[in-house]
Amino acid sequence: MPLPTKEGIRRVSLIFAAGTALFSDGYANGILTDVNTLLNRIYGAENVNRHNYGNTVRSTVFGGTIMGMLLFGWLSDKVGRRTGMMTATVLIFVFSGLSAASSGAHGSLGGLLAMLSAMRFLLGVGIGAEYPCGSVSASEFSESPGINRRAQHRWYVLATNTQLGLGNVTAAFVPLVLFWIFGENHLRAVWRISLGLGMVPAGLVFFWRLNMEEPERYRKDGMQYAKIPYLLVLKKYWPRLAAISFVWFLFDFVAFPFGIFSSTIIDNLTGGTQSLSVIFAWNLLILGLNVPGTIVGAMFVDYIGPKYCLIGALILQAIVGFIMSGLYKVLTQHVAAFVILYGVFQALGGIGPGNCIGLLAAKSCPTGVRGHFYGIAAAIGKLGAFVGTWVFPPIIDAFGGPHSERGNTGPFWIGGSVALLSATTAFFFMRPVHNDGLVELDREFREYLEEHGYDTSKMGIPGSEQTTKVGTIENEKDMMDNEKAGSLEEV
């Protein structure tokens, strides 16, 4: 097998440059759990709760992220992918630093928590921006000439969802290391440095992206200088958008609350220990269980296809969830068995919806409105996370509370049932996504617009080789197939 060429490596690096900023998303969201634990330890849970900080920061983070997804979904299509990505990186860098520097007037706890909440809202805007800008660009770079046709989806997953998972794991590891360094008496340094270190990946990605150009698909078929016919777009693509958004909503509805539910699991497994090192270490283990799933899933997604990879993993996750619920009492008597099964449950979430729902969103609509499409679907998914984090605690209480057997088994029944509903929806309403599918999508979109009297001559960026004629797009696809059968096939 020939070695990868320099050009092939460069093209793969573009996918990672576009998608790797999701590491910052994983880190920024993950670090908040441990920071909240530290704030409660430093200032007292009663004092922190008196300011309603937990609910406020949770709401502001989700609100900022949803705003970023919707606003930058439009900017991604109408201003440019690169401009959106660079702006998102700056927002994450600046407000990670300001989050770490949060303080109240005259040392006021209320002022500190209010500023931290405000900074987390603005940081959320930057995080949300990465989805319709960075992830969409990664999907377009993944189908560039020179990328192995059987590795397009793989590179996309490794550059996006895997980075998100690694960000979560790093967010659990950093406070643990800082706690070992500074100790129990310097917890203020631990939480501030933990937040401030979010500037590091954002800064590195900013310089990585400096020389990046717009993806080839956007240069040829974007609608930066063309009026978007929203009614025509909605008429053709709303069923795809509705199905993907619904499944994304259901996935985040379960996935995010399970992140909160993990603290209950840790509490039960450790006997309610107050040791921060033990709490942080268990949190690291549980969050780390998702990463192997994303990597394993990336190896198969090009061969199985994102739709059926999603469905298969959801069905298996439902089965594991039902087993954990039915055998909870037995499993908790054998901690290792419980952790292994919980790890399988989490890993299947990474293999299926974690890897595939964003991939399906990015590759189910044409280039001209891909930012809009992805941003809306991601925002609805994030709304599911917001609803889930508010709904799950009362559900657990209704089952008997977090320290009862039913209170711990109930979420697994719900998780399994939601996984089956998601799999059913995907089977009946989602369109399969194929390798090299973006060119075909753009060809179909141009044909559709021209049939309805829309002038497609303004699509693409002036000066780029535009694909105004359908025949030109077909020729382009033939050229891409020929290139991918050549010396760069191994990349």
CA distances from 393 to 31, 42, 106 (A): 21, 25, 35
CA distances from 468 to 279, 459, 461, 483 (A): 58, 7, 11, 22
Pairwise CA distance, residues 375 & 73, whole Å: 5
pTM of the full structure: 0.90
- Rounded to 5 degrees, φ, ψ at 318 are -65, -45
Pairwise CA distance, residues 91 & 105, whole Å: 25
Lowest pLDDT segment from 281-295, 421-435, 476-490: 476-490
Arithmetic mean of pLDDT over the chain: 86
Domains of the chain (ranges, CATH numbers) = 6-441 (1.20.1250.20)
> Is pLDDT larger for residue 370 or for residue 60?
370
Pairwise CA distance, residues 464 & 210, whole Å: 20
As a whole-number percent, the residues of the chain with pLDDT over 90 amount to 56
Pairwise CA distance, residues 131 & 139, whole Å: 11
pLDDT for 343: 79
Pairwise CA distance, residues 205 & 358, whole Å: 21
Q: Which two tokens stand for residue 389?
A: 């984090």
pLDDT for 488: 42
Determine whether 42 is exposed, middle or buried from the number of CB atoms within 10 Å of its CB (0-12, 13-18, 19+): middle
pLDDT for 261: 59
Pairwise CA distance, residues 183 & 175, whole Å: 11
DSSP 276-327: HHHHHHHHHHHHHTHHHHHHHHHHHHHHH-HHHHHHHHHHHHHHHHHHHHHT
The answer to whether 429 and 250 are in contact (CB under 8 A) is: no
Does residue 86 have a pLDDT over 80? yes
Q: Give, as one character, the DSSP assignment of residue 214.
A: P
- The mean pLDDT of 420-428, rounded to a whole number, is 96
Tokens 């900022």 identify what position? 64
Angle at 253 between CA 158 and CA 363, to 5 degrees: 40
As a whole-number percent, the residues of the chain with pLDDT over 70 amount to 89
Spell 155-181 as b/e; 16+ CB within 10 A means b.
bbbbbbbbbbbbbbbbbbbbbbebbee
